[in-house]
Structure 1
Amino acid sequence: MLDSTSAQVPTLSLADQAGDPDGFAAAFGESFERFGFAIVADHGVPQDLITRAWRETEALFALPEAEKRAYFVAGGGGARGYTPFKTEIAKDAKHVDLKEFWHIGRELPAGHRYADTMAPNIWPTRPEGFKDTFLELFTAFDRAGDRLLSAIARHLGLAPDWFDPAVKDGNSVLRLLHYPPIPADAEGVRAGAHEDINLITLLLGAEEAGLELLDRATGQWLAIRPPEGAMVVNVGDMLQRLTNHVLPSTTHRVVNPPVERRGHSRYSMPFFLHPAPDFLIETLPQTISAENPNRYPQPITAHDYLHQRLVEIGLIKG
């Protein structure tokens, strides 16, 4: 699988945004329109924090199975804490994904108006520095996400701060992913072909081979190979719906490595940037035209849309 054609997704520097916000927004938006993906270097998440997070992630998944399962919430939809190996399945897939993961969400103050729809975090007793590390990383992802949403807003002809109220106290999720070693004859793949649910996804860890996108122009699977330390960013279904498919949510997957690499684990850290639960996903007027009529005349809240999709991927019962 490692010899698959590489996607020609451009690598952009988020540092360019400060001096030329319109130029960065145009390049970022064009990459999203063509691929549904962009690669972003100089994203502002400190490397020492990322290094610490990888160390804590490996230590977490190395815990005994029984200890990890103590943090699994049955019926919780995987919203927080641990989700065991072979639980999630891509929409319409035949086999469950070969992965386990941990979810961290936003810390809300007591009595917050979203407390009934955004579950509290679950923190393991070990590794010892886990909570501090991932609260810090969540905040760093949040900041980077705000800057990228500002570029998207500019590209769409909106005010640069248009997304700010939409994502304030948003239901974003930081997912720690472990794809364990797999046998040569394993059924299924590490992550089946799927689209993300949220607005945008910010992904660390894609330097390890396996991530592929489906090119809509050719129907080919293309490997994504970002430079070391860069972040892969992609459009989620909520943003696709909001923009009437002007910014497309591209199908992607994580394929199994060659036989000689199947004894190795793979780790990644996607940050699924969500709006607040009561944000109304309503087609932006400037994305509707005679050639591109409104696909979604009926708006829906982010909370209701998320619930629909979690049912589809098997994390909650309908």
Structure 2
Amino acid sequence: MNSARIPTFDISRFDTDRDAFVRELGDAYRQWGFAGIRNHGISPELIDDSYKAFQSFFALPEEAKKQYHIPGGGGARGYTPFGVETAKGAKYSDLKEFWHIGRDIPRDSKYADDMPANVWPAEVPAFEEKGRALYAALDTLGSKVLSALALYMNLPEHYFQDKTNFGNSILRPIHYPPITTDDIPNVRAGAHEDINLITLLVGASAAGLEVKSHDGEWVPFTAEADTIVVNIGDMLQRLTNHVLPSTTHRVVNPQGEAARRPRYSTPFFLHPNPDFLIDVLPSTITPDNPSRYPEPITAQGYLEERLREIKLK
């Protein structure tokens, strides 16, 4: 399969060729739920330095990493060990360990109960600095993509601004360890859809990501090194009454010697504010597309429901 089937867009066109860019981007998401974004302005140095810091943490001994696991926290912050997260409906857990970096908010904020304080690994001083910087850069880029999608949906350009400014967004450095046996039933990440509004994936240049087409065909999507993969999540699918689809995707195990090497990736899950009410946009309800979700739900209520399904709560 040719990964070019899923298109990549130059986001600088949002400032120079807005109408055409918005139309082409929105149409691509309608078809795929996925697209690549280049000329995004996030420096290769920041991405490389972040990955070095994250890899240094994952290289620590198990007992050092596990001191940052927060029991009962649903993986909201800190470290989640190998073999915990399980794709919805899957029999076996994913082959990965990860860390969650969240938004820094005042501890007297009304959202403090839903958005705990970050924790940082003392053993890797660069982890906090690079993690915060990459979080901020992806948050800014995500807001720009949402502005384009708002215009595509005939909403005001800044429709999402006051609905995501305190969003419970998560930066997730992931480590998929080497696979040392060929007969395991688990995969690196089972087929799933993301929970949030949109996901921005930094460092998708390693093979393994596959996207399920409307025809049920698994299409590999290995992006160029300077491309960030951005996909629609279930919250935006629900808000748009499936006009913008949240597409099933997975990370498959490589074959042969490639399986003996670790894989790292860092998705940024962009969420709305916890009290945002996900209610189907009236403009998306038509005779051919009646409302699929007559009952609205808050973003936090939806998140908690899904975290239970994937064994994090």
Normalised-by-shorter TM-score class: over 0.9
CA contact (8 A) 1:237 1:249 kept: yes
Q: TM-score, normalised by structure 2?
A: 0.98
What aligned pairs does 1:288-303 form with structure 2 within 5 A after superposition? 288-303=285-300
**Consecutive unaligned residues in structure 1, runs of 5 or more:** none
Matched, 1:90 2:87: yes
Q: CA, structure 1 residues 98+7, in 2 after alignment: closer, same or farther (shift >3 Å)?
A: farther
Q: Which residue of 1 aligns with 2:208?
A: 210
Match of 1:234 among 212, 231, 240: 231
Q: Which residue of 2 aligns with 1:197?
A: 195
Q: Which residue of 1 aligns with 2:309?
A: 312
Shift of 1:5: 5.3
Alignment partners' CA distance in 2, 1:109 and 1:189? 39
Shift of 1:22: 1.8
Match of 2:162 among 165, 190, 199: 165
| Residue aligned with 1:246, SS | coil
Alignment partners' CA distance in 1, 2:306 and 2:34? 21
Shift of 1:187: 2.2
> Alignment identity in percent?
52
Alignment partners' CA distance in 2, 1:60 and 1:28? 36
Alignment partners' CA distance in 2, 1:172 and 1:160? 20
- Which amino acid in the other structure matches residue 265 of structure 1? P
Alignment partners' CA distance in 2, 1:24 and 1:279? 28
Q: Which residue of 2 aligns with 1:38?
A: 35
| Residue aligned with 1:189, SS | coil
What aligned pairs does 1:64-143 form with structure 2 within 5 A after superposition? 64-143=61-140
Alignment partners' CA distance in 2, 1:7 and 1:90? 27
Q: Which residue of 2 aligns with 1:148?
A: 145
**Consecutive unaligned residues in structure 2, runs of 5 or more:** none
- Which amino acid in the other structure matches residue 181 of structure 1? P
| CA displacement, residues 224-252 of structure 1 (integer Å, 9 cap, x when unaligned) | 02112100000000000000000000000
What aligned pairs does 1:5-44 form with structure 2 within 5 A after superposition? 6=3, 8-44=5-41
| CA displacement, residues 214-271 of structure 1 (integer Å, 9 cap, x when unaligned) | 111x211010021121000000000000000000000000000012211100000000
| Residue aligned with 1:26, SS | helix
| CA displacement, residues 178-226 of structure 1 (integer Å, 9 cap, x when unaligned) | 000012222210000000000000001211000001111x211010021
CA contact (8 A) 1:7 1:223 kept: no
How much is the aligned-residue C-alpha RMSD, in angstroms? 0.9
Shift of 1:113: 1.3
Range that drifts further, 22-31 or 273-282: 22-31
- Which amino acid in the other structure matches residue 123 of structure 2? R
Q: TM-score, normalised by structure 1?
A: 0.96
Alignment partners' CA distance in 1, 2:2 and 2:309? 30
Range that drifts further, 52-61 or 6-15: 6-15
- Which amino acid in the other structure matches residue 19 of structure 1? T
| CA displacement, residues 51-83 of structure 1 (integer Å, 9 cap, x when unaligned) | 110110110100110000000011111000000
- Which amino acid in the other structure matches residue 76 of structure 1? G
What count of residue pairs does the alignment treat as equivalent?
312
What aligned pairs does 1:262-281 form with structure 2 within 5 A after superposition? 262-281=259-278
Q: Which residue of 1 aligns with 2:185?
A: 187
| Residue aligned with 1:307, SS | helix
Q: Which residue of 1 aligns with 2:252?
A: 255
